[in-house]
Amino acid sequence: MTIPVLTIDGPSGAGKGTVSRAVAKKLGWHYLDSGSIYRSLAISVLDQQIDLMDESAVTQVAKNMQLAFECNDELVVKLQGVDISARLPTEETGAVASKVAAYPAVRKVLLQKQKDFRQLPGLVADGRDMGTVVFADADIKVFLTASAQERGERRFKQLKEKGIDANLGKITAEIELRDRRDSERKTAPLIPAEDAFYLDSSDLTIDEVINQVITLTVM
Q: Which residues bind ligand C5P (CB under 6 A)?
A: 12, 34-35, 38-39, 94, 97-98, 101, 127-130, 178, 182
Q: Which residues, listed in sequence order, are joined to residue 141 by a DSSP beta bridge?
A: 7
Nearer to ligand C5P, 162 or 215 (CB): 162
Q: Which is nearer to ligand C5P, 147 or 183 (CB)?
A: 183
CA distances to 32, 90, 111, 143 from 114, rounded to whole Å, are 7, 22, 5, 19
- The minimum distance between CB 188 and ligand C5P, in angstroms, equals 7
Least Cβ distance, residue 16 to ligand C5P (angstroms): 7
Q: Which is nearer to ligand C5P, 63 or 180 (CB)?
A: 180
Q: What's the closest the beta carbon of residue 1 comes to ligand C5P, in angstroms?
A: 25
- The residue of the chain with the least Cβ separation from ligand C5P equals 35
Whole-number minimum distance, CB 21 to ligand C5P, in Å?
13
Q: In what order do the strands lie in the sheet with 123-127?
A: 30-33, 123-127, 5-9, 140-145, 197-200
CA angle, 176 then 143 then 165, to 5°:
40
* Residue 14 or 210 having the CB closest to ligand C5P: 14
Fill in the amino acid letter for 8: I
Q: Are 30 and 70 in contact (CB under 8 A)?
A: no
